[in-house]
Amino acid sequence: MATSRVLGYLESKKNLAGSACGVAGVALALAGSAGPYWPAVVAGLYGAGALIAPPERVAPPRYPDAAERLGAVREDLGRLRAYVARAELPPTAAGTLAGLLERYAALLDPGWAADVLGAEPEAVHVLSRAIRADVPECVDAYHRTRWWTRITPGGASPERELERQLAALYEEAEGVAAALREAEARRQRTHTTYLEDRGRS
């Protein structure tokens, strides 16, 4: 660690600028202009050069861009579909879930629609949370609750609870689609206003 810091400093702008000024100090000493105090002059010029050199620019951390984030969510949707295909679900819930997954796929489909989605971080978060956490939890909780219901009959129907959960998620997906549609409509209206204002000017 210490060695890498030393090597990093040797290659830094501060060291290079200080060394250049130090070389100028040596040149002054050889020319006889620095007098008997030439070591102090060289050290002072090196220090001055190191101080005035611009600081090293630390590269900011790189985070996934919108396309990469959507690509990861798309891959997670594929894994979710494989998981759901192995799950035993009641027919009504299975139909609702199939429609929900189709809606997610349409929103994530590569192309201009995905570009609109990628520009809305909150919408991406909602879909990511639903695909990675909410839907798997719905299916898993249904299977666990159904097992206990078989042992101790009575109580709330796990099938009905699953249908309520999927209906809520479907409504959420509809809200995401409506918000994206409104964003596009707003963009269109903005462009209309721009064209009309440009025509009047």
- State pLDDT tens for residues 130-168: 999 999 999 999 999 988 777 777 777 889 999 999 999
Residue carrying the six token digits 């479907």: 170
Identify the CA nearest to 178 among candidates 130, 132, 134, 117: 117
Amino acid at 185: A
Per-residue pLDDT of the chain (201 residues; tens, 9 = 90+): 556 665 555 556 666 666 776 676 667 666 666 667 667 766 776 777 666 666 667 777 877 777 788 889 999 999 999 999 999 999 999 999 999 999 999 999 887 777 888 888 889 999 999 999 999 999 999 999 988 777 777 777 889 999 999 999 999 999 999 988 998 898 899 999 999 888 887
